[in-house]
Chains A and B, each alone.
Chain A
Amino acid sequence: GAVVSQHPSRVICKSGTSVKIECRSLDFQATTMFWYRQFPKQSLMLMATSNEGSKATYEQGVEKDKFLINHASLTLSTLTVTSAHPEDSSFYICSARNWVGTGNTSPLHFGNGTRLTVT
Chain B
Amino acid sequence: KQEVTQIPAALSVPEGENLVLNCSFTDSAIYNLQWFRQDPGKGLTSLLLIQSSQREQTSGRLNASLDKSSGRSTLYIAASQPGDSATYLCAVGAAGNKLTFGGGTRVLVKP
Is A bound to B?
yes
For A93, give its contact among B44, B49, B97, B100 (CB under 8 Å). B44
Contacts of A112 in B (CB 8 A): 42-43
- Chain A residues touching B, majority SS: strand
Q: B34 near A: Cβ within 8 Å?
A: yes
Contacts of A109 in B (CB 8 A): 46
Q: B103 near A: Cβ within 8 Å?
A: yes
Across the interface, name the chain B residue whose C-beta is closest to A99: B97
Across the interface, name the chain A residue whose C-beta is closest to B35: A107
Q: Which of A11-19, A41-49, A70-78, A82-90 contacts B (4 or more CB under 8 A)?
A: A41-49
Q: A67 near B: Cβ within 8 Å?
A: no
Contacts of A108 in B (CB 8 A): 34, 46, 93, 97, 99
Contacts of B89 in A (CB 8 A): 43-44
Task: Using C-beta atoms within 8 Å of the partner chain, give the interface range for chain A.
Answer: 20 to 34
A-B residue pairs in contact (CB < 8 Å), sample of 18 = A6-B43, A43-B89, A43-B103, A43-B104, A44-B89, A44-B101, A45-B101, A95-B99, A104-B93, A107-B46, A107-B49, A108-B93, A108-B97, A108-B99, A109-B46, A110-B46, A112-B43, A113-B42
For A42, give its contact among B34, B46, B93, B103 (CB under 8 Å). B103
Q: Are B103 and A111 in contact (CB under 8 A)?
A: no
Q: B76 near A: Cβ within 8 Å?
A: no
Q: A115 near B: Cβ within 8 Å?
A: yes
Across the interface, name the chain A residue whose C-beta is closest to B41: A115
- How long is the Cα–Cα vector from A93 to B101 in the complex, in angstroms? 13
Contacts of A97 in B (CB 8 A): 97
Q: Are A34 and B103 in contact (CB under 8 A)?
A: no
Q: Are A49 and B103 in contact (CB under 8 A)?
A: no
Contact bitstring B52-82, A, C-beta under 8 A = 1, else 0: 0000000000000000000000000000000
